[in-house]
Structure 1
Amino acid sequence: MAVPSSDIRETDPEHPSARWESAPLDLDGYLARIGHHGPLAPSLDTLRTLQAAHLDAIPFEGLDPYLGRPVPLDIESLQDKLVRRRRGGYCHEQNILFATVLDRLGFRVTGRSARMLMGADEREITEIGHTLLSVVIDGTDWHVDVGIGSAGPRGPIPLVEGGEFATGSWNYRIERSRLGHWLLRLRRAGGWFNLVHYTEERYYRADYADQNYVVATSPASPFVQRLIVQRNGADMRIALTDLVVTTHLPNGDKRTREIAPGQLPETLRSVFGLDLPGELERELVERAGRPRSSDWSDAAYGV
């Protein structure tokens, strides 16, 4: 498959796409994983199509930190996990893989890092820890994020202050926060729901290592404390938090149901497309059956 060479982008420190390490990427394997057989030119249409296909195919999940396993971010580990073993991942994994793909295809993609709000007031100073992307096409800066679980946009959103945009059945608004940062909001029943806010500072792969270590290993991390798996669908968003399955519809309807630990393997297969090895399934069932040591708010993680 003919794609633009990444050699110049990898060695040019002034280019926003520098250092995504896209040369080792198995592009054909990734495209097969998400079921994309269309054009690959670095256009807005291609970006929209790839982002939706990625979200349809690769679920958001934090199974490894939940089970005390490492979460490496090098490209070989990412494509082995998310592509070959058909697993999912959280924001650092998802967006670094997607940025690597976009870079390989010739997009001008820059890493950014956001403060997660998930309903909190934009004046609240939460920690920086969410990976997202900027993609510039024909002079327009597009907000791109495939790693925000079941609340994120399914397509690129232009950074236009006060703009309201639909990605599929879900509506978003971009504003400037009172701190002067970009603020992304989701339309939910009852009004606008704050998701993330961030500056235009550039981040590189190396910058995400410390953030990832905290998320994957800290006892205070929600991904260490709780079982979190989510799917960001075109017409339905589904989240598994511990043993509770929550479904959100675009009209604001919300349904919840509780499952038993023994139902986890089938739920992960049928709802989230995660067909796991038997040993991993057994570990999850055993871990999910233990009492939780902390009580986290579901709203904090987009469910």
Structure 2
Amino acid sequence: MTEDLGYGWQSDLLDLPAYLKRVGYDADPRPDAATLRALHRAHVTSIPFENLEAILGRPVELGVEALQAKLVDRRRGGYCFEHTELFAAVLEKIGFEFTALAARVTMGATKLRPTTHALLRVQIPGEPALLCDVGFGSGPLEPLEFPAEGVNEVEQDGWGFRLFEGPRAWELHQRGADGWVQRHTFTLNETFHIDYELFNYFISTSPHSPFTTRAFTQKFSVDSLRVLDGTTLTTTRPDGHQEKRELPSEQLGAVLAEEFGIVLDPADIERLTAS
């Protein structure tokens, strides 16, 4: 048995047919642009974003076996490091060439932020490189092309995104109700599973992490972004229109199951409503 030196993404442990069934992809996957676009769209619209394990005080595990058990077999969601590691294993299994990256989430802030987000840069021979961002919870639906110069501004089913190289780093912007907002910045320095393990530990355990202070769940689709922040449910449409409502605590379990596809044990629901 060859020693795992940590440069790959454990695709030998991945049950690819189970993953494809989970995201509703029923074609023969090939390492080409059409497959990548379809898989990206299928992933972001099928597997929700959530930090519930951290809020419940349980460890958030990376590695293909743990991610497959949670996101595929148990049909739960996760945050960026979970999504991106699973997607990396899928791409590696199919035969794509890619580089894992780390980003600084800004959401319009100008102060320097730590690297707490995971991305993939995919290179298909003979084509421009593509940015895959399956773990942010709010798109994009499909990969974004790295522009050779200038700005790549795209609209995907009404959702707007911009990707360009800024003075310090690459920038991804997303269009909201009030215009364009810088979502995150990143460089093209390669990162690996061991780096994500370190970032993940901070995100899931530090009292300074936003993911240890309140429950947060997102589900992205072609026509809506649903966000459950604590007990506030917000639905955003591609044109920026929002609808908000406060949930009584007794409705939390039902909303998680019906709106996000996340089914929790009654004891976990009780702990979430008490947190």
Q: Which residue of 1 aligns with 2:124?
A: 137
Structure-2 separation of matches of 1:220 and 1:37? 41
Cα drift, residue 220 of structure 1: 1.5
AA of the residue aligned to 1:129:
T
Q: 2:240 aligns with which of 236, 252, 257?
A: 252
1:90 aligned residue: 79
Q: Which residue of 2 aligns with 1:188?
A: 176
SS of residue in 1 equivalent to 2:12: coil
Tell me, in whole angstroms, the C-alpha distance in 2 between the residues paired with 1:190 and 1:280.
37
Asked whether 1:127 is paired with 2:114, we answer yes
Is residue 2:11 matched to residue 1:22? Answer: yes
CA apart distance, 1:280 = 2.2
Aligned counterpart, 2:101:
112
Structure 1 unmatched runs, 5+: 1-6, 288-303
**Equivalent residue, structure 1, for 2:146:** 159
1:76-109 per-residue CA deviation (whole Å, 9 max, x = no partner) reads 1100000001100000000100111011000112
Residue 206 (structure 1) aligned with residue 194 (structure 2): yes
1: CA distance, partners of 2:259 / 2:203: 25
Residues in 1 aligned to 2:55 and 2:154: alpha-carbon distance in whole angstroms: 35
For 1:224, which of 201, 207, 212 is the aligned residue? 212
Correspondent of 1:273 among 239, 261, 270: 261
Percentage identity across aligned positions? 39
TM superposition score normalised by structure 1: 0.86
What is the number of equivalent residue pairs in this alignment? 272
- CA distance in 2 between counterparts of 1:12 and 1:240 reads 39
Identify the residue that residue 51 of structure 2 maps to in structure 1: 62
Letter of the 1:265 counterpart: G
Q: Is the 8 A contact 1:67 1:224 kept in 2?
A: no
Kindly state the Cα deviation for residue 187 of structure 1 after the two structures are TM-superposed.
Answer: 1.5
Q: 184-193 or 231-240, which moves further after superposition?
A: 184-193
How far apart, in 1, do the equivalents of 2:5 and 2:130 lie?
22
The question of whether the paired residues in 1 share the 8 Å contact of 2:56 and 2:268 is answered with: no
The alpha-carbon deviation at position 189 of structure 1 amounts to: 2.1
Q: Which residue identity lines up with residue 236 of structure 1 in the other structure?
A: S
Unmatched segments (≥5 aa) in structure 2:
none
Amino acid in structure 2 at the alignment position of 1:106:
G
Q: Distance in 2 between matches of 1:77 and 1:100?
A: 12
Match of 1:239 in 2: 227
- SS of 1:76's partner is helix
Give the match for residue 271 of structure 2.
283
2: CA distance between counterparts of 1:255 and 1:222? 23
The 2-side partners of 1:119 and 1:39 are apart by 40
Distance 1:76 1:200 in 2: 27
Structure 1, residues 127-175: CA drift from partner, whole Å, max 9, x if none? 111111111113421110111122x311100111411112332111112
Paired with 2:225 and 2:58, the residues of 1 have a C-alpha distance of 27
Matched residues in 2 for 1:166 and 1:46: separation? 19
Instruction: Look up the match of 2:163.
Output: 174
| TM-align CA RMSD | 1.9
Displacement of 1:12: 10
Q: CA deviation at 1:178?
A: 2.7
Distance 2:94 2:67 in 1: 18
SS of equivalent to 2:219: strand
Structure 1's consecutive aligned runs of 4 or more residues displaced over 6 angstroms after TM superposition are 10-13
TM-score by length of 2: 0.94
Q: Distance in 2 between matches of 1:50 and 1:285?
A: 35
* Higher mean C-alpha deviation, range 274-283 or range 257-266: 274-283
Report if the CA contact (8 A) 2:173-2:183 is conserved.
yes
